[in-house]
Amino acid sequence: MTSPVVRARIAPRWRPVEAAPASDVAALSSALHLPPLVAQLLITRGYGDLEAARTYLRPRMEHLHDPALFLGMSEAVERLARAIANGETVLVHGDYDVDGICSSTIMVKVIRYLGGRAVPFLPHRMTDGYDLSDAGVEAAVREGARLVLTCDCGTSAHQAIERLAALGIDTIVSDHHLPSRPVPACVAVLNPRQPGCAYPDKDLCAAGVAFKLSLALVRALGGNENIVLRHLDLVALATVADVAPLRGENRTFVRYGLRMMAETSHVGLRALIEAAGLASSALTAGRIGFVLAPRLNAAGRVGSAMRGVELLLSSDVEQCNRIARELEELNRTRQEIDRETLAQARRMAEGLDLDAVYGVVLGREGWHPGVIGIVASRLVEDLARPVMLVAVDGGVGKGSGRSTSRFDLHAGLTACADLLVRYGGHKAAAGITIEPARLAAFAERFNAVARERLTPDDLVPELRIDLQLSTAEVTDDLERLLRHFEPFGIGNPAPVLAVAAGRMLGAPRTVGQNGLKFRLAAPGGSLEALGWGMSDRVGEFADGDLVDVAFKLERDAWQGESRLVARVLDVRHGG
């Protein structure tokens, strides 16, 4: 039996978080002078200890770990210091996404500040492929580099590093991707995820690693640490864009980096913010992830990522504005390709038997490899199971995948390694290179692995409810208090609130292309509720219906007016 088309709604299972003991809530509430609701939320998020709660609510730079804890840090600093002292050219080789662009920019700027000669190089997605490869080796030779420093890549680049060594060129790898085999032999590998690395925070993105390396290098050479701290806005941008968990050091980076971003000293970043229409908006992690980052990402997806580095390195206002406008156009092109690819992928997935397919692999000639990761994310939302999409071009398949919280994508690909040319990534996102002839065998194996590791229950979307409350408790004061939990993202999601048996005031209506809008009765007035992607449910409810609503509480500014809005995640008949 074939399952319904993939756009059919899979109703999420609501999972209320178990309430903390009343005595614990009262004690924390009293110690921190916070309302019980906020203390409850802190405890259920794992911050019941008084000091842990204080650190979470007020992360500080002095809480960051010593860069020296990285395996290989002393060797990396010594070699870079020697290169700077001897006037050697350092090729800074990045990846073509936001994290690669930002980490490369940070290292180039810091090395140049210290008097060194740093030349950036980012591969072109369509012609050079992923990671440090022959294109990077040739760039190093062309620039006369004696040292290559990778940013956001290199952990799996054994052949290229061996080729560089044969040419008398040293390599330092700075990366954060999970190693799929022993790390390459080179001067140093800075990767908190590599075996034997004692660095406490394993969740850093590449820009976070670059920040740590820069700090250690500046300290070793007696430079001004403020030069490194000025780059926290780029670290924050990369951390959010790379969907790194917003806990531990990442939370500190993003908290401070967002503040700096509002008055950034980077002319190119300011131009990008203005071109994206965010100059007069509060810069939240959400706006960075959904508005700003895609524009910088567009350079590497459908153009050349080097334009992104040129933007962030430049101090010429006219040049920066010109490049920012280019990225706006590239992003519009990327969005058009996204829409067409998503429509094609959804049509291909309509025939899947979702009772049998737990891990989805779809491949097609003509897909743009720069957008399939974004499309895979949308399909995961549709299907509630891991998805790999493969763009086939001649004799090469380039794939990108996304997963749910229940399936470790990197581990799943490891079980398919013999069918792949190469692979790399994380639990939630990964990329592959595959021979097209092996695509069918890979699809079969990937599904078999997913069926072994997932249960039918894992394929039902789950909606965690952090707090259950009445409409009377949904106030401006609550929204202000919840801001202390920012920045929100993976690893620190915005609290999900739920109101049971709320009464609809008037019939719901559609807004925009796919929004559902309605009002809930509240003491002394009403609460506006808006759910994007829910317009097809407008006929399910009517004026006066009692409904249960799960939502995130936000403040929305429109035409000079600020109001509370419940951003609806799910609504169902209640009472």
In degrees rounded to 5, what are phi and psi of residue 209? -65, -45
- Give the H or E element holding residue 326: helix 317-349
Q: Where are the beta strands (DSSP E) in 373-425?
A: 387-393, 396-402, 422-425
Task: Report the residue count for the chain.
Answer: 575
Residues in Cβ contact with 569 at an 8 Å cutoff, skipping those fewer than 6 apart: 12, 463, 496, 531, 550, 551, 552
Beta bridge partners of 543: none
Digit-by-digit pLDDT tens for the chain (575 residues) are 333 333 455 788 999 999 999 999 999 999 999 999 999 999 999 999 999 999 999 999 999 999 999 999 999 999 999 999 999 999 999 998 999 999 999 999 999 999 999 999 999 877 877 789 999 999 999 999 999 999 999 999 999 999 999 999 999 999 999 887 899 999 999 999 999 999 999 999 999 999 999 999 999 999 999 999 999 999 999 999 998 999 999 999 999 999 999 999 999 999 999 999 999 888 999 999 999 999 999 888 888 899 999 999 999 999 999 999 999 999 999 999 999 999 999 999 998 999 999 999 999 999 998 889 989 999 998 899 999 999 998 889 999 999 998 999 999 999 999 999 988 888 888 999 999 999 999 999 999 999 999 999 999 988 999 999 999 999 999 999 999 999 998 889 999 999 999 999 999 999 988 899 999 998 878 899 999 989 989 999 999 999 999 999 998 866 667 789 999 999 999 86
Q: Say if residue 456 is exposed, middle or buried (CB neighbours under 10 Å; 0-12, 13-18, 19+).
A: exposed
Q: How far apart are CA 276 and CA 551, in angstroms?
A: 27
Phi, psi of 83 (to 5 degrees): -65, -40
Distance (Å, rounded) from C-alpha 200 to C-alpha 203? Answer: 9
Going 193 to 198 to 204 to 206, the CA torsion angle's sign is negative
3-state SS, residue 231: coil
Strands of the sheet containing 360-365, edge to edge, are 360-365, 387-393, 396-402, 429-434, 422-425
pLDDT of residue 125: 77
Whether residue 516 contacts residue 531, with contact meaning beta carbons closer than 8 Å, is answered with yes
Distance of alpha carbon 73 from alpha carbon 98, whole angstroms: 24
The radius of gyration of the chain's CA atoms, rounded to the nearest angstrom, is 25
The rounded distance, in Å, linking the Cα atoms of 406 and 492 is: 17
Is residue 534 within 8 Å of residue 558, measured between CB atoms?
no
Domains in the chain, start-ordered, CATH in brackets?
13-58+462-573 (2.40.50.460), 62-329 (3.90.1640.30), 351-459 (3.10.310.30)
Long-range contacts, 322-326 (Cβ 8 Å, 24+): 323/268, 323/271, 324/268, 324/271, 324/272, 324/274, 324/275, 324/295, 325/275
pLDDT, residue 1, reads 33
pLDDT for the residue 420: 95
Q: Tokens representing 303?
A: 């153009």
Distance (Å, whole) CA 73 – CA 71:
6
Q: How far is 102 from 173, CA to CA, in rounded Å?
A: 16
Through-space distance between the first and last CA atoms of the chain, rounded to whole angstroms: 35
CA 326 and chain centroid, separation: 23
According to DSSP, the residues that pair with 120 across neighbouring strands are: 92
**Using DSSP, how many helices (H) and how many strands (E) does the chain show?**
20, 19
Neighbouring CB atoms inside 10 A of 282's CB total 10
pTM of full prediction above 0.75: yes
